[in-house]
Structures are given as structure tokens and as C-alpha cells.
Amino acid sequence: MSPTYCEVALPVPMRLLFTYEIPERLAGSVFAGSRVLVPFRNRAMTGVVVDASVRRPDPSRVKNVREIADVLDAIPALPANLIELGRWVAGYYVAPLGEVLRAMLPPQIDLRHEREFLLTDAGRTRRSELDGAGNRSESEVAEMALLSLMEIEGKPVRADRLHKLPGGEAAAERLLRRKQLEMRGVAVRRQARVQKIVAWIDAPSGETQSAQADPSATLPEKEARVFHVLAEERGPLPLPQLAKLARVSRPLIERMIHHEKLKCWEEPMAVEEDLFDADYTPPSNILNVDQERELAVIRGWLDAGVFTAGLLHGVTGSGKTEVYLNAVDLVLARNKTALILVPEIALTLWIGRLCRARFGAGVAVLHSALPEVERAREWWRVRRGEARVVVGTRSAVFAPVENLGLIVVDEEQEASYKQEETPRYHGRDVAVVRSKLEGAVVLLGSATPSLESFQNARSGKYHLLQLDSRVENRPLAPVEIVDLREDFKSTHSTGPISAKLGKAIAARLGEGTQSLILINRRGYSWSVLCRSCGVSVQCENCSISLTYHKQRQRLECHYCGFSRRVPESCPKCNSEHIYFFGAGAEQLEEKLREKFPDAKVARLDRDSVRTKRAYQQVLGDFAGGKIDILVGTQMVAKGHDFQRVTLVGVISADSQLSLPDFRAAERTFQLLTQVAGRAGRGGLPGEVLVETFYPEHYAIQLAARQDYLTFFEKEVQFRRLLHYPPFTALASVLVRDAKIENAIRWSRQLSVFLAPQESRGVKVLGPAAAPLARLKREYRFQFILKAPKRAQLTRALSELLAFSEEKEIPQKAVLVDVDPLSLF
């Protein structure tokens, strides 16, 4: 049989595919979409087959074609629809296909990466030399032992065996240095992780316990406890958990197993139980007239069975979630599958719980905070078709469902849908393309749609669905703007809490309802200034001010993690007049506690809650009324449905407006509208107070009126005029290096290359120092590319990358971001 070849996409920063030979023993088990293990340079790598039968590449171009080492899946991991989608993503975001496909794959829990050593000719010579030598030193003895072992076995030796040879590790290192050994990476298949499950040996099946004679009377005390836990309390349990619950040692249990008092078998590692699920009954809402009307439209699209994109614009609290879930119902009734994307992990828990309660076990939840084993298991459940509804964050847009009927993208305007590393895709945009490729319906939902999406609805690309009022006709909470300049004039206080906000909080404490206060900065003070020389204390690695964290007594960089102790004098001029400036969440919490000593105050930000559990705990306590005032960063602004919040306060609402970013106004508008929407969601009316130094700014004014349409009109005009998205295809190209000379030289080269692009319709701005001119010790220069037509931009970027490859500019030095969310 003549050899066959396949084309493999590897997760390397090269926009190429690689050809491998399929060895005879693997014939018939390699398909498009299979994950394969292949040798690449001197490593083993997992790639995805994108074409399972290709011709041998031209021998003049590729000299030796290597063989696939192994196929990892019985069924190909990636179905054909995902490979097609991957190709689109790779093309649109000018990213290597291998890196795109890797982003689609499940976590690799079934492989372990190891190193192994091979004997070289020099090594064989060394061995015969040593063999002949009379008096060998200790290290020579060790080398000899290793070399002999390898010669005898006649195959590579794994690094993990070295420690068994005395002095083996050091010997290997010396031999390696002298090129008498060679090292390479290999991947080894690993058994799925299993755990021992233990059960009482005569656990009755079907009978009730009371019918049995109680054996615990005749047992030694510890064994009786084991009996009690297994047979009376819990049933079969993982061994460690049993040991803990019964308060006995593991060896004791092992002994009981050995004496056949207990049964034992192995099961794959348990999935962490979702604590929320146990006794949850979702509200059974009857759709109101508005919801029914929009659902009917969606039903029509599903019946038509062709690609349709809808934008559901519904004010906060209008019941969009209910519409999504009913749409999923319709999809399931048509025997199709559905994806629901949410912008953050906390919301997957919330929506996942609603979905499980409604659609049962056929729901899978996928997000990056799941332990790898669990995520892999969920992923394969989806791949095998066991789960037909998938709830997840950004990357769940690549969930391996087939027969797709619907993708919902909730809060479609959220920045978290954009991945900020290669491949730099936007989950919402990929959702639309995927739906198009698979003839499905895509439903984008938001109270404050992105300008792009609303413009698409305007131009007829998307259909617009609207929910104009809150459920049960609850009013939107009135928003009042607090002018901090006026506040200062009357109070002469510079604290974060204005007189008006203070009074409003006091009133809520009096009536026993809750307040939610949003502040957009972490830490205690976001700047540390010297009064004498005016310098602010900067990060060593980045061109950014350090933030003061009082509890930890450190100055910290929020970009790279650098931290230092708080200086007693100015690092520059030695003056002692150090001044802390700008309140963050930590300070706000402290000031609230001072002002309202009897109130229960809690804070929700990345410093105060570090785990999923802590996060849920705080939100749970707030929802349960155990907290009067909750302070938080934008973590608190989104999605949550608190019933007893009657006051929402926003501190420094304008903090984003000063950023040099064309989306600054849009972001501010969205954030304010979202957080204002947290007030008055239950039966109680709400009030929103927004503190700002720029009360005139249209983003703040219009957010206060919750007037999306006017905001859209104004903003869209500005975008059109200044040639920004959605009217221009935009990309940013960042050139970065730890050595500033390199960054400048490469920027110049690219600049020369880009110049002629202007005549092809691509406008090139830069290179200029990036707004964050230094980050994590790297100097950064930026180009902005704009083109009226997408194809022009894509071509220019693709040529740019080819050029930089040709000039041997390191791959990681040139960072291309298509449709960047922020130019900052």
C-alpha cells in the first residue's frame, strides 16, 4: 500500500499547515478533525488534521515528511462545521489556523508531556571509551551506567527514569552538553483520572435500612462509623471523602476493603456538584404581551430554518432571559441544539441553573474556570450529542454541537466577548458567522446594544426586536446627576461620598432596603503624588501609576502585578510630602463604614473576592438581605437581579471618559445604563445617583435619561465623521520589545512597508508610542489601520505579517488586533 499523507494544523505562530505521513498501523483511523500527536522540531505536539488525504508534498520543497505518532480520538474531536468556522476565524483575524483550532479543543487531560533522551554516535563512542578505561571516577561510573542502559534497551529513555540511577540526572546533563545525548519532548497518553469509590458490601438494593439487622452493634467503633456513613447516611463515596466523614484513616478503609468488608471500584473523577442546583425551582413566568410578540417573530425564523440574525433590544428588567429560554424550547422541539453565550462566568452559573431546571440533564456548562477534567468531560458530552443546550462564556461559541438551531448572545455589547490573546476573535461576531455557516438563528440581546449591532439592525442586516418596558410595568428608576463641583462648593469635602448620596444611603438604612454603590477603580488610592516635585509613583515595568492598597500596605501595578512597599519619601526628590489621590473601592468601603457604623457593608472586587465561592457568597448574602450596602467595581453592574435594591450610587462615573479611546463615551453610557438598571427590579421603586465632574457630557446626560436612541444617533454621527467602526474596518498593529531600539527599528521597517498601502485604500496612522508606551518591561509602538472595505484591510494585514516573517522580525513582536475593542 502506498503511504498516505494528511495536512495538520499545529498551534505554532506560523500561518502554515504541515504535511505528515499516516503510518500503516494508523491507516483508517485518521479523519479530518482528529487530534493527532506529531513530532515537530524536537518536540511532540498535538495538532488537528484538517485534510485526511493529501498528496505527498513536492520533494524539492519538503525533504523528509515525518510520521504521525498517534491519533488521540476515536471520533474526530472537531466536527467539519467547526473546521470550516476555524478557517473563517483564521482568515478574518489573520491568525494561524493551528492556534484557532487549539482554542476550539477540549483541555488536554489525556496527555502528559515528558522529555526523553536518545543516544548519539558521540555517545556510543563515549561508552566504548569509558568501557576501556581502568579507574573510573564516580561521575564516569554514572555516565557509563546511563549509556549502557540506553545501549542495551536500544530505545530512548524517559527523563523520569533518571532519578533511579545514582547520579543519573547530573550525568545526563553532562552528556547532553557534550552532545553525547540528545533530548526531545514526547507526549504520553495518560489514563483518565479515576478515583476509588467505596460501598458497604451488603448494602441492600431496594430494601429499606430498617428491615436489616443492624450490623453496627457487632463492629469495632471505627468500622461502625464507616458503616453508618456508607449504609445509613450517604451511600457509596469516594475513599478520601469517606475517610473524612467517618473520621477514620485511609489505611483503615483500605484494610476493610482487603478483608472484603467493603466493596470498591474505580470511577472517573467526580464532577464538583453545583451547590446551587439541589433545591432550585425557577420562577414560572407567563410571557407578557411584548415577550409573546417577539417570541412569535423568532418562531417564524426557526420555522423558516435559514440563517437569521436578530437584535433583541430590551430595557433592563424587560425579561429578555425569558424570551431566550422560550426560544431554546422551540429549538429543542425541532430537534436542534442551542448555544447561550453570556459575558462572564458568574452569569453561566445563573443561566446554567435556570436552564438545568428547565431542560434537565441535556444542559452543559462550559467556561474557563472549570477544573480541566470537568471541562473536558462537559466538552465531550456535548461532542457526543448528550447535551443539546450549552451555556458558556466566549469560547463556548466553539462548542462542538451539531445540528445547530440557535445561538443567543446575552449582553452582546460586553467587552469580555473579545479575546485579548491570539486568536483575538470577538465571540459575538463569531456567533453570527457560525449561525450563517450552519443556517441557524442568532439572537443578540442587550439593553444597550453596541453601536455596531444597532447599526446593523438599522441597515437591515439584523432584524430588530424590542421590549420597551419592564415586566409588570415596573418603572425604570429615575436617575439624578450629582455635580461634584457643586457638592465641593457647599461641603468642602473631597471624599468619595457626596452629601446627597450620603443622605440617600441613610434613608435606605432607615427603611431597611439596600444600596448598591459602583466605583470603577480598585484599591485605596489610584495615584500617589509628590507634592514637591509633582511626580507620581510609577510602575518599574509599565508607564502607569501605581495604586495604593491600604490593607496590604503596598503600591501595586494593575497591569503587570509589580508591587512595592509604600515609600516614606518621594523616590525622585526625597521630599516627605507624599500625597494619596483618587478614591478606589477599598477607600469607599472604609468611608462608608466610618459614616454608617451600624450598617452591614461589603465589597465585591477582585481584591476582596478571589474565588468563585467567595463571589457567590457575597452575592448570595446581598440577595438574601444580609448586606445593607454593597460596594463594587463593574462586577456588580451586570445582569444580576436583586429584588430589594432601591438605591444605586455611581462614584466617579466619568473615570473612563478621559481615556484616549473612541469607545470611551459608549462604554460610559453602557455602564451607567446597566448599573442604573439594577435599581427597582422588585416591587419597590428605585433611585439612581450618579456623581460626576462632567455633568454636561452627553454620555452621562443620556444615560441618566436612559435614552439609548438619542445616544446612538449622536455617537454614530461622530463615528461616521471620524471614520471609526462601524463605518470603517479597523485594526491595530503593535510592535513591542524589551529593547527600545528593536521596537523602533521594526516599526520603521513596517512603516516603510505599509506606506504604499495608502494608495490601495488603507489609511495608516503611526507608528506612534502606544498609549501604554511601556507594559511589562516592553516598549510599544502602534499603527492604526483603517479601510473602508474589509477585504482591503485583511489583505494589508496578511501581507504585513508575511513581510515581517521575511524580515525575521520575531513573531511575538508584532501583534495584530482586528476590530480592536480599545486602542488604549
- Which stretches of the chain bind ligand ADP, using CB under 6 A? 283, 285-288, 291, 314, 316-322, 471-472, 641
Q: With respect to Zn ion, which residue has the nearer C-beta, 161 or 606?
A: 606
The residue among 198, 141, 212 whose CA lies nearest residue 171 is 141
Q: With respect to ligand ADP, which residue has the nearer C-beta, 501 or 703?
A: 703
β pairing state of 337-341 and 363-366: unpaired
Q: With respect to Zn ion, which residue has the nearer C-beta, 480 or 576?
A: 576
Torsion sign over Cα 517, 703, 416, 693: negative
Burial class from Cβ neighbours inside 10 Å (0-12, 13-18, 19+) for residue 702 reads buried
Q: Shortest distance, CB of residue 612 to Zn ion, whole angstroms?
A: 26
Q: Shortest distance, CB of residue 180 to Zn ion, whole angstroms?
A: 44
- Run of H or E residues at 19: strand 18-22
Q: Shortest distance, CB of residue 331 to ligand ADP, whole angstroms?
A: 18
* Residue 177, SS3 per DSSP: helix
Q: With respect to ligand ADP, which residue has the nearer C-beta, 52 or 637?
A: 637
Matching residue, cell 490573546: 421
**Of ligand ADP, Zn ion, none, which one does residue 217 interact with (CB within 5 to 8 Å by kind)?**
none
- Cell triple for residue 24? 500503516
**Of ligand ADP, Zn ion, none, which one does residue 683 interact with (CB within 5 to 8 Å by kind)?**
none
Taking the mean position of all CA atoms in its chain, how far away is CA 772? 23
Region 529-558 residues binding Zn ion, contact defined as CB under 5 A: 530, 532-533, 539, 541-542, 557
d(CA 803, CA 813): 13
609 forms part of the interface with Zn ion (CB under 5 A): no
**Of Zn ion, ligand ADP, none, which one does residue 287 interact with (CB within 5 to 8 Å by kind)?**
ligand ADP
**Of ligand ADP, Zn ion, none, which one does residue 539 interact with (CB within 5 to 8 Å by kind)?**
Zn ion
d(CA 192, CA 194): 6
506 forms part of the interface with Zn ion (CB under 5 A): no
* Residue 728, SS3 per DSSP: coil
Q: With respect to ligand ADP, which residue has the nearer C-beta, 389 or 657?
A: 389
Q: Shortest distance, CB of residue 656 to Zn ion, whole angstroms?
A: 20
Strand order in the sheet with 441-446: 363-366, 389-392, 337-341, 404-410, 441-446, 308-314, 463-467
- Run of H or E residues at 56: none
- Run of H or E residues at 221: helix 221-227
Q: With respect to ligand ADP, which residue has the nearer C-beta, 677 or 766?
A: 677
Q: Shortest distance, CB of residue 606 to Zn ion, whole angstroms?
A: 16
Q: Shortest distance, CB of residue 640 to ligand ADP, whole angstroms?
A: 9
Instruction: Tell me how far apart the 2 most distant CA atoms of the chain are, in Å.
Output: 97
**Of Zn ion, ligand ADP, none, which one does residue 557 interact with (CB within 5 to 8 Å by kind)?**
Zn ion
Q: With respect to ligand ADP, which residue has the nearer C-beta, 317 or 449?
A: 317
**Of Zn ion, ligand ADP, none, which one does residue 241 interact with (CB within 5 to 8 Å by kind)?**
none
The residue ranges of DSSP E strands in 152-252, in sequence order, are 157-158, 181-189, 194-200, 237-238
8 forms part of the interface with Zn ion (CB under 5 A): no
**Of Zn ion, ligand ADP, none, which one does residue 559 interact with (CB within 5 to 8 Å by kind)?**
Zn ion
The residue among 18, 31, 45 whose CA lies nearest residue 80 is 31
Q: With respect to Zn ion, which residue has the nearer C-beta, 287 or 560?
A: 560
Torsion sign over Cα 387, 390, 396, 397: positive
**Of ligand ADP, Zn ion, none, which one does residue 727 interact with (CB within 5 to 8 Å by kind)?**
none
* Residue 630, SS3 per DSSP: strand
Q: With respect to ligand ADP, which residue has the nearer C-beta, 354 or 432?
A: 354
Q: Shortest distance, CB of residue 357 to ligand ADP, whole angstroms?
A: 12
Q: Shortest distance, CB of residue 678 to ligand ADP, whole angstroms?
A: 9
Region 721-740 residues binding Zn ion, contact defined as CB under 5 A: none
> Nearest-5° angle of CA 550, CA 659, CA 801?
110
Q: With respect to ligand ADP, which residue has the nearer C-beta, 77 or 340?
A: 340
**Of ligand ADP, Zn ion, none, which one does residue 326 interact with (CB within 5 to 8 Å by kind)?**
none
779 forms part of the interface with Zn ion (CB under 5 A): no
Q: With respect to Zn ion, which residue has the nearer C-beta, 403 or 563?
A: 563
Strand order in the sheet with 237-238: 237-238, 194-200, 262-268
Q: With respect to ligand ADP, which residue has the nearer C-beta, 409 or 657?
A: 409
- Cell triple for residue 349? 452559573
Contact by Cβ (8 Å): 339, 397: yes
Q: With respect to ligand ADP, which residue has the nearer C-beta, 134 or 283?
A: 283
Contact by Cβ (8 Å): 569, 578: yes
Q: What are phi and psi of 392, to 5 degrees?
A: -170, 175
CA contacts within 13 A on the Cβ side of 573: 12
**Of Zn ion, ligand ADP, none, which one does residue 572 interact with (CB within 5 to 8 Å by kind)?**
Zn ion
528 forms part of the interface with Zn ion (CB under 5 A): no
The residue among 47, 115, 59 whose CA lies nearest residue 86 is 47
Q: DSSP for 86-104?
A: HHHHHHHTT--HHHHHHHH
Question: Total residues at the site for Zn ion (CB under 5 A)?
Answer: 14
Q: Shortest distance, CB of residue 702 to ligand ADP, whole angstroms?
A: 19
Q: With respect to ligand ADP, which residue has the nearer C-beta, 320 or 719?
A: 320
Contact by Cβ (8 Å): 782, 734: yes
Q: Shortest distance, CB of residue 568 to Zn ion, whole angstroms?
A: 12
Region 554-583 residues binding Zn ion, contact defined as CB under 5 A: 557, 559-560, 562, 570, 572-573, 575
Q: With respect to ligand ADP, which residue has the nearer C-beta, 405 or 445?
A: 445
Region 419-458 residues binding Zn ion, contact defined as CB under 5 A: none
**Of Zn ion, ligand ADP, none, which one does residue 471 interact with (CB within 5 to 8 Å by kind)?**
ligand ADP
Q: With respect to ligand ADP, which residue has the nearer C-beta, 317 or 680?
A: 317
Q: Shortest distance, CB of residue 818 to ligand ADP, whole angstroms?
A: 30
d(CA 337, CA 81): 14
**Of ligand ADP, Zn ion, none, which one does residue 36 interact with (CB within 5 to 8 Å by kind)?**
none
Q: Shortest distance, CB of residue 674 to ligand ADP, whole angstroms?
A: 9
Q: Shortest distance, CB of residue 285 to ligand ADP, whole angstroms?
A: 4
Which amino acid makes up residue 267? E
**Of ligand ADP, Zn ion, none, which one does residue 314 interact with (CB within 5 to 8 Å by kind)?**
ligand ADP
**Of Zn ion, ligand ADP, none, which one does residue 321 interact with (CB within 5 to 8 Å by kind)?**
ligand ADP
Torsion sign over Cα 431, 446, 659, 761: positive
Rg of the Cα atoms in the chain: 31
Q: Shortest distance, CB of residue 293 to ligand ADP, whole angstroms?
A: 12
Q: With respect to Zn ion, which residue has the nearer C-beta, 321 or 547?
A: 547
Q: Shortest distance, CB of residue 703 to ligand ADP, whole angstroms?
A: 16
**Of Zn ion, ligand ADP, none, which one does residue 575 interact with (CB within 5 to 8 Å by kind)?**
Zn ion
Q: Shortest distance, CB of residue 516 to ligand ADP, whole angstroms?
A: 15
Q: Shortest distance, CB of residue 543 to Zn ion, whole angstroms?
A: 9
Q: Which residues of 54-92 are buried (b: 16+ CB within 10 A; e: fewer)?
A: eeeeeeeeeeeeeebbbbbbeebbbbebbbebbbbbbeb
- Cell triple for residue 616? 457567590
d(CA 391, CA 11): 26
Residues in touch with Zn ion (CB under 5 A) = 530, 532-533, 539, 541-542, 557, 559-560, 562, 570, 572-573, 575
